[in-house]
Chain A
């Protein structure tokens, strides 16, 4: 019983991270109808940037917020300089560019920061308020951070006019122009936010899995699974899906298939959702008219 509870709590902790990355994926999908294959590598690169700052004796939280800011700029720049140029090209061309970005970020990280596995510090105290039995301090802290992040984003989109304008630009760029919204800017903003969210996810997960250039590829897979399960065009669904996948992964890993096949579980979820219910639990069904 105790083990079950602790697996669920740990699952919620990693689920929070998957939920954040899934949210970033959905934000970009909503705005551009595209899946950002490079999301994980971008988050990893951001985490390395934070690491470098911390290595240079910068206090953790200053490095944290600086990294979030830098990631925002990086994401907006990619949208503006790379993706804006290739709008409207066939799917294959877009996939090529995303894979290109994936590969460039991965290799840049290895080149600038070397590929040796690094330790990434956790900002949370070593002692958990509940003792080490159920959940570690970092897992608890990471869950809180991701929940705060998700709530802030939700409030931003729901209550501010900028958030409303971004939602509008994602859903209907033509009508958005007719009310004066600068759609290109909204897209860059969306990408910036997604990159920023990714960086937070990366910084929260690095203390658990250690920092190396291939840190995020598995996490990206779980995030995909979560986003698809919850609904690729539903932010709330993606968050729910992320947490669900986190818990499922831990429970199945601990009690059913063993830890070695966790990625295969993600694969099965992805393929299963795509085949059985592509819109996910909360997404809307897309009907293509012939």
Chain B
């Protein structure tokens, strides 16, 4: 079990968002976190990175990380692609990627990593000197993922990557994501409102409702579940 979460509670000020959720994530798997708006999916990812106040036990690769600061959690190998992508809009594409590799120890490898990442996203290579804020929405999403990959993460946290993207771009993005998971063994925790899409590439899935886990299991089972089909898959 790469990531284990036990009784995670989180709040924004006085407003409690997560009421004690527990779940696990296997090494090398793609796990989807589904749910409607306001269910607490983004909060879960933020709590994992110490970007939201939380209680509960979070164990990553055998280490308890709930008391650690964001910058240190990143150094353990968790890369978070937040809602809204978090691109450094005033910096160039290439500078964004360099920042992705900021904490990597052997500095020489960063250049190699960049070539590898450009391999996944050739469009970014064309735009390497362009200011990141001028890239299209789809390209910025690619850039956000590419930057996360520069870290050579063990675990990738993705928050609503399909948001605001044209369907064709979304397909392309998820195709690349699946490839990365297969070829490099990067584990993925994927938060998505678009349940159908997420369930296609996921191995496991959890459904969050109003701050609690309503359902969890293998992706195939979740896909077949009647309640899920009714609420999230539109059938």
Question: What is the interface of chain A, defined by CB distance below 8 A to chain B?
Answer: 161, 164-165, 167-168, 171-172, 174-183
Contact = CB atoms under 8 A, between A and B. Distances in A.
A182 B74 CA distance: 11
Those 10 A-B pairs whose CB atoms lie nearest each other, nearest first: A180-B103, A175-B86, A180-B74, A177-B70, A179-B99, A179-B102, A180-B71, A182-B71, A178-B80, A171-B90
A181 B75 CA distance: 10
B44 interface: no
Query: Which residue, A164, A171, A183, has most C-beta atoms of chain B within 10 A?
Result: A164
Contacts of A168: 88, 91, 99
B168 to A, nearest CB: 27
B86 A178 contact: yes
B88 A178 contact: no
Given A177-B71, A180-B71, A180-B75, A165 B102 contact: yes
Contacts, number: 59
A171 B90 CA distance: 8
A183 B74 CA distance: 13
Contacts of A161: 98, 102, 107
A174 B81 CA distance: 12
A171 B91 contact: yes
21 contacts: A161-B102, A164-B95, A164-B98, A164-B99, A165-B102, A171-B89, A172-B88, A174-B51, A174-B86, A175-B86, A175-B88, A176-B99, A178-B70, A178-B82, A179-B74, A179-B147, A180-B71, A180-B103, A181-B71, A181-B102, A182-B71
A176 B147 CA distance: 12
Contacts of B151: 179-180
Contact of A175 (B75, B87, B98): B87
A172 B107 CA distance: 23
A2 B28 CA distance: 76
Given A175-B88, A177-B70, 4 more contacts: A164-B91, A164-B95, A177-B51, A177-B71
How many B residues touch the partner, as a band? 20 to 34
B44 to A, nearest CB: 16
Nearest to A233: B90
A167 B91 contact: yes
Query: Which residue, A165, A180, A181, has most C-beta atoms of chain B within 10 A?
Result: A180
Contact of A171 (B71, B74, B88, B100): B88
Nearest to A182: B71
Contacts of B75: 180
A167 B103 CA distance: 16
Interface string B50-81: 01000000000000000001110011000110
B199 interface: no
Contacts of A174: 51, 82, 86
Contacts of B70: 177-178
Nearest to B74: A180
Given A161-B98, A164-B98, A174-B86, A179 B103 contact: yes
A283 to B, nearest CB: 12
Query: Which residue, A171, A174, A179, has most C-beta atoms of chain B within 10 A?
Result: A179
B208 interface: no
A207 to B, nearest CB: 38
A184 to B, nearest CB: 9
B149 to A, nearest CB: 12
B91 A178 contact: no
B10 interface: no
B198 interface: no
B145 interface: no
Contacts of A167: 91
Contacts of B103: 179-180
